[in-house]
Amino acid sequence: MPPLPEFLTFAAVGALAQLIDGALGMAYGVASAAMLLGLGLPPAVASASVHYAETFTCGASGISHLVAGNVRKRLFWSLAIPGVLGAVIGACLVSRVPVAWMRLALAPYLLGMGLLLLLRGMRGGAQRHADRVPRATPALGLVAGFADAVAGGGWSALTVTTLIARGTAPRMVIGTVHLAKAVVSAAASISFLLYVGATEGAAVFGLIVGGVVAAPFGAVLARRLPARVATLLAATAVLGLGLDHVVKAFH
């Protein structure tokens, strides 16, 4: 049985990460994975632990967004189906692909998208129709699912930033991406269970409890947050993620 202070620490981090993730559509996996890596867990084990937890936290968050009216079905299926395929392939290859390579590959994209979103948020560009599914969305889901499984994060950063940059309403993107991420995380978890096995129980349980408790608040925050503010916050988060990938790739 894990000590109570240790469990509460994981739960607090999970709650904070999920609150940010629910409002911006990203950062839960990054924050959680960074914490587990800081404790000395191998990258594959840290990624597996986060995906185990995200199956539950993203499920709770996705349902909350669905109830709040933040989900578009066509966009969901365009992301979820190829995302599952990408996650399964990524989980199978994670032990063979150096994490530094994936971080270096993702860093330029994240930095570029962050700058694009920052400029778009400052200009306050017009939104496209929320029901429209942008072109190449299935390819985006495939790449994001693969990158997320291999690098321990990246699904939300890739999908949310790309879709918002294309002009889709931020709250619809965030809600739909979260619901799709629950399905993708479940597929990755099954694959990790086969290739990595069970991981840190205290970490996973704490992240799940904290994330599930905070999920409804994140959905409400996403619904009430102005589109321009959400875009600027997302840009800041993505720029931070890009810099984080650059730093970690060389350590």
Domain tally, the chain: 1
pLDDT the model gives residue 77: 94
Task: Phi first, then psi: give them for residue 41, nearest 5 degrees.
Answer: -75, 145
Three-point CA angle 127, 172, 75, nearest 5°: 100
- Local mean pLDDT, 10-residue blocks, the chain (251 residues): 69 77 67 67 77 82 86 92 94 75 71 75 58 78 89 79 82 89 91 76 79 77 72 74 73 65
Give ∠ CA 67-134-56 in degrees, rounded to 5: 35
User: Residue 1 has what pLDDT?
Assistant: 44
- The confidence score (pLDDT) of residue 2 equals 53
Contacts for 209 with CB less than 8 Å, ≥ 6 apart: 11, 14
For residue 18, give every residue at least 6 positions away whose Cβ sits within 8 Å of its Cβ, in sequence order, or none: 28, 57, 61, 210, 211, 212, 214, 215, 218
Conformational region of residue 25, where left means phi above 0, alpha means psi within -120 to 50, and beta covers everything else: left
pLDDT attached to residue 186: 92
Alpha carbon distance 30, 64 (integer Å): 21
Pick left, alpha or beta for residue 152 (phi over 0 → left; psi -120 to 50 → alpha; otherwise beta): left
Backbone angles phi, psi at 3, to 5 degrees: -60, 145
pLDDT at residue 156, as a whole number:
82
Residue where the block lists tokens 């993107």: 173
Query: Which residues are within 8 A (CB) of 222 and not within 5 positions of it... i.e. 6 or more apart?
Result: 22, 23, 24, 25, 65, 68, 70, 170, 171, 174, 175, 230
Predicted pLDDT at 29: 76
Which pLDDT score is estimated for 174?
85
Domain that holds residue 241: 4-249
pTM score, whole prediction: 0.73
Nearest-angstrom CA–CA distance, 137 and 159: 9
